[in-house]
Structure 1
Amino acid sequence: MLSRPSFIGDEAIAHAVATHWLLDATEADYLPWGFGAHHWRVTGGGTTLFVTLDQLRPRHTEATLEAAYAGAAALAAAGMETVCAPLPARSSGRFTVGVGTGALSVTPWLEGRSPTEAEAGEPRHLRAVEAALAALHRATPPPGLRHWTPQVGPGFAGQLRARTARPWTSGPLAERARTAIAAHDAAITRWTDRYLRLADLARTRRELWVPTHGEPHHANQVVGAYGLKLVDWESLALAPPERDYADLLAAGAADRLRPDPAMVELFALDWRLSEIAAYARWFAAPHTGTDDDHTALEGLYEELSQAPA
């Protein structure tokens, strides 16, 4: 996130890391990176860690987030070198520690950088990502790994229609978000109906489900002297392999991957509807017009733009 969390400061993050992971942790520097979680660089005793604070509900429970990070660690321990695995807490052996309404996790600090979208589409890089995902999809599922489930249910469109029927007064961008969502009611209803039919189809083929990262796009890739690493494993779940294919297909890898078109459509809708649901919650709640708020509004507009003119 671009903006610091209002409910916890850098000193509290450094203290939590010292308590649970790095005894010598003395300094936490906030990193305005990504969107959806908060991040810090924490240092001490010659060691640097990358620290993430994930929010839980409605996306996760404490158990499912722990299972995702424990699963990533198990994949790395089984030999998947492209996994940047979380580190277990010294105090408990768990990979997450509750902090307020969220959960803290840490990974080693990677010296490298995320590729740009253009770099991520270069043939050599695409082959590395394809190989990493192929290895992930062949891997034995870690114990306790959650199964993918639909992000929205049958009542989603109707509930959204009811929520957007009256003006929102929760912040400076609330009405822009509400009117945009309300104007796309027919498309959201159509998308939801199709999505749930495809989800039912996917569930009849569970024998084909594999471990999937969920969001292996360029921002969750880091390249350095060690090669390619995939980061941010909080979405790890058993699912059809097409859950991981969106960016590869956009770059022209369909002939190599041979995806099921129905499952490609399912996960395009999975992303779109989960984003719309998240942004609806965001702007119906109090907000002040921060950079994150404006980024979220642009994200909402982008998802709604998928409707036919």
Structure 2
Amino acid sequence: MRSRPSFVTDGAITRALAEHWQPVSEIAYLPWGFGAHHWRADTLFVTLDQLEPRHTAASLESTYASAAELAASGLEFVCAPVPARSGQFTVDTGVGALSVTPMLNGRSPAEDEVDKPAILAALDALHSTPPPAGLRHWSPQVGPNFAAELRSRTAEPWTSGPLAEEARTALAARADAIAWWNARYLELAAFAASRRDSWVPTHGEPHNDNQVLTPDGLRLVDWESLAVAPRERDYADLPDTAGLDPAMVELFALDWRLSELREYADWFSAPHIGSEDDVIALEGLHEELAAQVVGRE
């Protein structure tokens, strides 16, 4: 997130690190990414995850434990969390789940700088590895009533903040498209579930911002979305890869879009102040709503 969290201080993060991992001498907030808060603390990269709606405390812990297991199995590109003294990979701070990874010496490539052979090789290795026993399976991000409930929620004005009405009216204007996406998504999800025996470990978001080019090669970070799923889940930015099932590519395009719309609806119907993060979120909402409805438009 670009904005510092208002609900926790750097001092509180420093104390949690000292209690559960190691004492640190310097800490700095990093205005990176979107959805979680990050700090640099000496040689540690620190993440504070909000659990809902993607995780429970137990599912996030098992996800990070699974990432560590994959790294230990020989997948060197996995930048896995560092266990706390307890052996757990997450610590409940009361305002989110804290985790740490090593601070990598490298940079994330721009979209046109992605080393496609390297990321394809990493994904192939990941998908060929047996899934850890405790790793969760992907499931649909929204249910059959999502579109109808969203239509109802957007029927009356939102007064929750300066961007609320723009977000509400944008969602309401695309209600029919959202309903079609919702129905098509669940149809494809049911088809995917019928072939669960072919599912593999997937990163979930291996795009350029989650790739780090280091002197030792490519590293993939942010394993919060790790899950057993159809392999097409990992090819949103590489849709022309040979051998992909077009139906599963469509499923995960809709998976991303509908989960984003759900989160943006929750975001703008709740109190907000028009911060930089709010503005970025509104841009994201408009981008997702601009997608065409294949076969309908």
Structure 2 length as normaliser, TM-score?
0.98
Deviation string, structure 1 residues 83-118 (Cα, Å, up to 9, x no partner): 00100001x100000112310000011010000011
1:227-266 residue pairs with structure 2 within 5 A? 227-249=217-239, 253-255=240-242, 258-266=243-251
**C-alpha distance in structure 2 between counterparts of 1:105 and 1:133, whole Å:** 24
Amino acid at match of 1:263: M
Amino acid at match of 2:245: D
Deviation string, structure 1 residues 242-301 (Cα, Å, up to 9, x no partner): 00011112xxx423xx10111000000000000000000000000000000000000000
Aligned partner (choices 78, 103, 107) of residue 101 of structure 2:
107
Identical residues among aligned pairs (%): 66
Q: 1:39 aligns to what?
A: 38
Q: 1:195 aligns to what?
A: 185
- Structure 1 runs, 4 residues or longer, greater than 2 Å off: none
**C-alpha distance in structure 1 between counterparts of 2:258 and 2:292, whole Å:** 12
Q: 1:65 aligns to what?
A: 60
The runs of 5 or more residues in structure 2 that have no matched partner are: none
Q: 2:291 aligns to what?
A: 306
Q: 2:3 aligns to what?
A: 3
**C-alpha distance in structure 2 between counterparts of 1:101 and 1:144, whole Å:** 25
User: What is the total number of aligned residue pairs between the two structures?
Assistant: 294
**C-alpha distance in structure 2 between counterparts of 1:161 and 1:100, whole Å:** 33
Aligned partner (choices 211, 220, 236) of residue 221 of structure 1:
211
**C-alpha distance in structure 1 between counterparts of 2:225 and 2:241, whole Å:** 23
Structure 1 length as normaliser, TM-score?
0.94
Q: 1:87 aligns to what?
A: 82
SS in 2 for 1:95: coil
Deviation string, structure 1 residues 210-231 (Cα, Å, up to 9, x no partner): 0000000000000010110000
**C-alpha distance in structure 1 between counterparts of 2:16 and 2:162, whole Å:** 34
Contact 2:210–2:220 (8 Å) recurs in 1: yes
**C-alpha distance in structure 1 between counterparts of 2:78 and 2:54, whole Å:** 22
Q: 1:279 aligns to what?
A: 264
Contact 1:11–1:27 (8 Å) recurs in 2: no
Asked if 1:290 corresponds to 2:285, the answer is: no
**C-alpha distance in structure 2 between counterparts of 1:52 and 1:220, whole Å:** 14
